Amino acid sequence: MNGANSTGDAVRDPAFETELQHLRPTLLRFALLHLRDEQSAEDVVQDTFLAALQGRGKFAGRAQLKTWLVAILRNKIVDRIRQRGREAPLPGLDEDEGDADAFDALFAADGHWQEKPAAWGNPEASLQQSRFYDVLELCMKALPENLCRVFTMREILEMETEEICKELQISTSNCWVVLYRARMRLRECLQLRWFGEGVPAE
């Protein structure tokens, strides 16, 4: 008797469970970034572990364990957002976010760049460094909460813009403006904190 109340976990696998435990902090942080609520983050990570234990056979080492778990977790988070979105619309997202010309400063009156965008070199070089993802996370967290929420739904959870607008009950044009601002801020932050200092060689 092993207390199993669901199918598929009749065989215990301590080594696998240890690996899951090891990845728990990373997954929690990822969930928290999207859900911003510790309890919900705990819940989705637990659901992910349950799914992982049940679907252990399907995993079979084809991908990195972390990549596989993040894929499961992402779906759980999207489900959670879908449930939640209908209950609680995004606070503080209204017309004052519609100031689309906030980045006018980037351009001269004649429509040319004030300061030309820098070359970011070979992207692969950055994407292979774990420190890069720390900086990326830092930059996402530095976004105002509503920007961060819409943006991560779009880019990390890969939801369609239409659906995001619907879930959060905001207009399509407002949604675009929010995404626009988030992208510009993130770009600025990466320029400053990553590409500005130790730009990886091309």
The site for other proteins (CB under 8 A) is made up of: 26, 29-30, 64, 66-67, 70, 104, 106-107, 110-113, 116-120, 123, 126-127, 130, 132-133, 136-137, 154-156, 158, 161, 175-176, 179-180, 183-184, 186-187, 190
Closest approach of Cβ 11 to other proteins, in Å? 28
CB 164 within 8 A of CB 179: no
Q: 104: which 2 tokens?
A: 């006018």
Complex with other proteins: residue 61 or 111, whichever CB lies closer: 111
Closest approach of Cβ 176 to other proteins, in Å? 6
- What does the DSSP 8-state code read for residue 93? -
Q: CB burial class (10 A; 0-12, 13-18, 19+) of residue 96?
A: exposed
Complex with other proteins: residue 15 or 119, whichever CB lies closer: 119
The rounded distance, in Å, linking the Cα atoms of 59 and 53 is 10
Closest approach of Cβ 78 to other proteins, in Å? 15
Complex with other proteins: residue 2 or 130, whichever CB lies closer: 130
Please give the full DSSP string across 108-132, using - where no structure is assigned: -TTS-BSSPPPP---HHHHHT-HHH
The rounded distance, in Å, linking the Cα atoms of 100 and 72 is 35
Complex with other proteins: residue 53 or 179, whichever CB lies closer: 179
Closest approach of Cβ 17 to other proteins, in Å? 21
Token look-up 């590409």 returns 195
What are the two backbone dihedrals, phi and then psi, of residue 113, each rounded to the nearest 5 degrees?
Answer: -65, 135
Closest approach of Cβ 189 to other proteins, in Å? 11
Complex with other proteins: residue 4 or 162, whichever CB lies closer: 162
CB 92 within 8 A of CB 178: no
Complex with other proteins: residue 2 or 62, whichever CB lies closer: 62
Closest approach of Cβ 21 to other proteins, in Å? 17
Token look-up 């996370």 returns 137
Q: 21: which 2 tokens?
A: 């435990």
